Structure 1
């Protein structure tokens, strides 16, 4: 060939889609010579190949073994040959093993084989007789079956590849693939019958008449049952066995079961065992009762008994597509008749929502992170999302409407449209997306005749996929299509499942399909609303009418319903949102934020459905919704800024009632800011503790200023008064719902002692009165003062000094370890802290005092726990709880604080770290103690945020535990995990505590 001819040939190859031109040109020369066909005739039809390079490589390989079938195929139907080998090097390997099979490709793309034709062909491949026995039971029968199956598979693929639109023929192609799978199982069952009568390897040996009398039905599940199978997919099955009463009585029920089980095992082996001809696909029987642990074959009665007594909701959902596909048809029909009614009542089961959600989560939780973006089937926006949505709609409404009880996804979509459960335009888009995804999946599996659901990761792989699917012109185009469909499918669940809920209560566009109130009620119940009737009422109030606000709410509500449903308490979240919307009315910024900031709207649903504490406060401070649009707004404000605002408030409001009302509003606002930041994961536990301590200090300082101005006359202003923070308040470790432990000290500064005491007592009374807040309680607890609740509320600095010098008990010195001045006279605070240091950091501690502290700790554990409360669940006083860590640290501070200055801190964790550095606590023990202290603190705050009520006890209720877990960023339905984490953490901390405290 001249240079000019060679150049022209390469140009022709490039136009046909070849990429490796030199290699293809060499192979073309080889084929032309081997086959005796002109080069131009060899490449006729090559432009039909998705990957011409792979096709010509396959042709050369086959021709080297036997050129005659290749020559005949190229002359008879070259387009089909090139199309098949170009889309599937896997078929190239098949024809390389069996070149003579090429003869059956002629005209293969003209039509699909019918179900009867597939069955007849595959039964003929094993020479099955009228009684269902194959001519032979050895491995040659399996090989013949597999070769014939692949011949028919090639015919289906040829039709698929040559169709003008693969999307349009997806349904019949998938149905033919399912029919072929059923026929293959039927043929393999015939071989199995012969094997168990002739004693094939591992098959056993039974009389032919007994084998013939035993009935075995093979039930197709999943895509096989729905007649929407892939080219290479696991075929999910369930086996039902049995025999007539006379047979069972004659040979015994156990023998009937034994024969049926042997038949099932051998049937599966015929498809999946390693032989000369590779396996066809995996036969998966793990959807049977009890899964892998359960019997492979059961009678119908045994199946029904299991489903009545033990089955979980997801198992009924798995039966939605069940269909007899092989074996005894009457037995298969009886099985379906027995189990189908149970499928359509499963949505009424109490745990339906949880079980369906768990199924949905299991789909994605095991996907490797690197594969998520490429997962056609399991990833976000993939095939499974579509199937899940359709099945959920069917299960919710199929209980009352038999017309939507369809097995196939596309058939179910059509039925849902026809019966008014979804809109036509949405369903059409959804259907088209589903078909496109399935076509991509089919082309990927055809490539190597292997099960895969991953998009290509290379430009060449994408280019071949684009040509094979004809859904895009380039590799970039097919990737863009995939990304576009993913985004649409992610959103489609909302459009199909949630938006029609509005039709029951609000005016929607005329083309929107309507749900009746009863249907909307069922759908809301299915997604987790405990009071669907109330939810419908609230949705109606939010979306009805012609106002701009109602219009925006109608557009947003479908998405928000979904977000509420994903939350801990969707009912509370929805009603709270309604109240806030009504409070804000037509406020422009609110409507604009809802419309334009989907992030803010989602965060709003999250905090309202996850925290009653937030919901109740937000109803009183609805303008706080604006914070959700900017993360900076949820950061704690500094103490200086809050002090300035509090002083400004008091300057504007002279009457104490007005001033304190404004100060309480300031405190509520900042508590809400902190709560939202905590629930959304913006703030750490340390930031929350600091923020809560700061707003408590500012509140006390502002209240003290107001009360002094009201109570102390001008002539008595020499009186000094201060508030000392104690306990977790003093340590800067407050959580939501924590009391503020305090002590009050004064200095008469020359005033009459009795007059000074009277004024100090009036100040304390005023502090307690004006700091009270019915909305968010703020209790100033003086229980840690000398003599406890029996001692005076306020003492002079001299009285404190005298008391601690003469009568102080060990627990009172211990209490002072977290004393810290927070309000009032700075000079007086300094004097009090000097006094406290002498008491809490003594040069030496009497052994008797240490023993007394340990005795009190043991008594507290035994006597102060609420009656009937499980000790292990008490986060403060229980084993491994807050008091264990705090008492141990305080004991070390009392013993060693005088000589180790770093122990002289009111912070529990800072003191623990200092103890580690000083060698007083092993590092491992400290880690366990800190972990327990932090987890207990977080659980206490989360419990308060969830319920709006303060409690030191970890709830027993699974719903509350799950809600706490969600606030602490556990995955949904983590009640058991939360419980186990606390119990394990507390147990390890308790062991460390006992060794260090009592040891």
Structure 2
């Protein structure tokens, strides 16, 4: 939202402006001619600003009369027209407190400095020389500086009297940690806000250096009391900040200060939902910053759960209901913070997403609301149009809040009822009159309230009114065993279940199973609310029996983590998508059952069916890992696995929905593997270099990393399917003899071998989220007997002198996936030389056909001799899409044969590694008739599409022999015409 522009002062405010100017001029003249000269030298623009500010703010007008020199000094320093530099405000306060001798003097100086800054901030806010962000930042910086500097002054005084608090375990001096909560924690303080604080200290012990030692808690309690008095007490000079300590454990009845361990224990055992909500914005605003960071890390698991926590919505909903009751009880409908469509509703929307998703999506673990909204848009949680309305509405409400509080420096969010203050608010917000302002305010409150209801409101309510009965209530007696089996089966049958007894048995098995019996009361209540919903939506599906069969195992799997049931209850669209996908694919059903965290992906339909392009995949994964500490390997591995699972589900869902054709499915799955391999290589390299140092090149310079991962087979040919493993070969171009430059040096050969082992470990280790990929390294030189990692020179020598023809066939589909570009280019050159050398065609045909015959004998369908027997085309005979005659491998072998036979004359055949584009090249070069090229491509895609469907149905790649008969015969014809059999 753009800044509200100042308007001319309305007639009702002009007398106030004139009176303020005359009074101030008289006060200045009373100080003497020299001081009066400062005011008379003011430029006209500043005089106009002065009139506007004093007309709208009684507080500024009063302070200008009480201390005209203060206002003149602000003007003389240029601080009314310019922004303060980072750290400038704190430095000013340091200078203000210099030489302070006692607590009374500390209080006086703090209050006078606060008044000076309050005048400056209100002036700049009303004149729109500062935007909302600057105003909130300056107010928060003022609080930070006041809290921390007052604390440090008081700490020195109390330590001199009672000794230095010292940790019993560490033996080191202890400092208090002061957490700022709410708007202070988020650097969003308003013009007349109180400050919510929590006090803590690292560990127990006692003071050292005094005649009578004090317990650390007693020391910090006394210090906390003095700090509150220094900031909060009202004196002749006013106050610094109203201090609210009620957010601490046990509220007003709790200890003023607690140790870290006591705080952690409290939140772990007794922390309530509203305390999680409050702790989102917690920030260290004073005291020991290093220890404070450790404290926030201790408390992070309490705030951000590692699983999707949709129970947070229910908690926020309950909090909002309590607030609404209080608003109604106190007649506060005109409160722009707590009332309908107010500031608090925008905060609730943002924090609902933070509490639900923040444990898994670290980008949401931040405090400022506007940054959270930007993240919600950037990460796809909310549409851009929604975020734009929430942002603009929030900013308008906050500007209005500041206008209300600027009038008298009073903590209020209530709209005024006096005509004078209404005129002031409208004027500050840039409106000619109250009605124009109020109409715009009503518009924004309406939009905020509407968006709030979409996110927070109960899904069982329409237009804010509770429904007569919750969805699926007709199924509740059946689930709760109020019906006998016969009646239950009749209800299931009448609703559309084909096998009602089987459905009843499944439901009874879940209800009486050990997982459900072990559920706590809250979890059981959630399950009892969810099952009727599930049954209601299942019978709306074409195959309710199939839905129930595939979804109930998921329900059983998450029964003890009932937050997932809340997720589905709160999001009917997600539940609908779950049922559709599970009915369509048992593979998807099994994936979600094994890894319920995938339910998160069902929340956003647009994102679910629109997988990102390759660059976006790389950027998203890189961004996720950047937020994880480099030394947290466990979390890095989990993040990689969740990323793969989530995007794999999105691709499968898109394939089922028909939004992604076969070739694009393979593209996305291959891009996904490449993005993951890039990060795995970076992780493995970083860990290996940290342990052993950096290996060297033959010229003595350091490798960076002079290592590549080469993909063969499906990943090399950009043809990955769901659940495909990775055929990989590792190659380096370092000096195998030279030692690394680290504290534990090893030779280059050892280094790269251990790097390869590290990569395989990262890819294959089973974690709670499974493994990334199965890895097959048997295509490396000399196979399983060879070195795990080959030097580029050794790879070249092997391929030129020792490799079998079938290994050269595999090389046709090999390409560099990730790693050093220079080494990658050298590999491509080696590949081109090896594959592009002339071959004796008859010998080549023999070797290719013999290898194919061996594969068919060992891997093809035994009943039909690998698809070659007379009955291979019968409906009763199975056809292995990949291995039987006329299938996928026959097409792959023909392509590989053609590349080996003719690439010495047509090097363009080696440009690509996928079969479709190599076939294009064969057609363009006139090596195969165009009709045969098209036939092979269409057959190849048809086979792979069928194989994908089988995989999603958790079926082997085998169909009945009466399928694909025309394609198989044509493939065999071309096979024979090429002289291969």
* Bin of the TM-score, shorter chain as denominator length: 0.3 to 0.5
Q: Which has the higher helix share?
A: 1
TM-score, L = length of structure 2: 0.44
Q: Give the TM-score normalised by the residue count of structure 1.
A: 0.43
Query: Which fold has the larger relative contact order, with Cα–Cα distance below 8 Å and residues 6 or more apart in sequence?
Result: 2
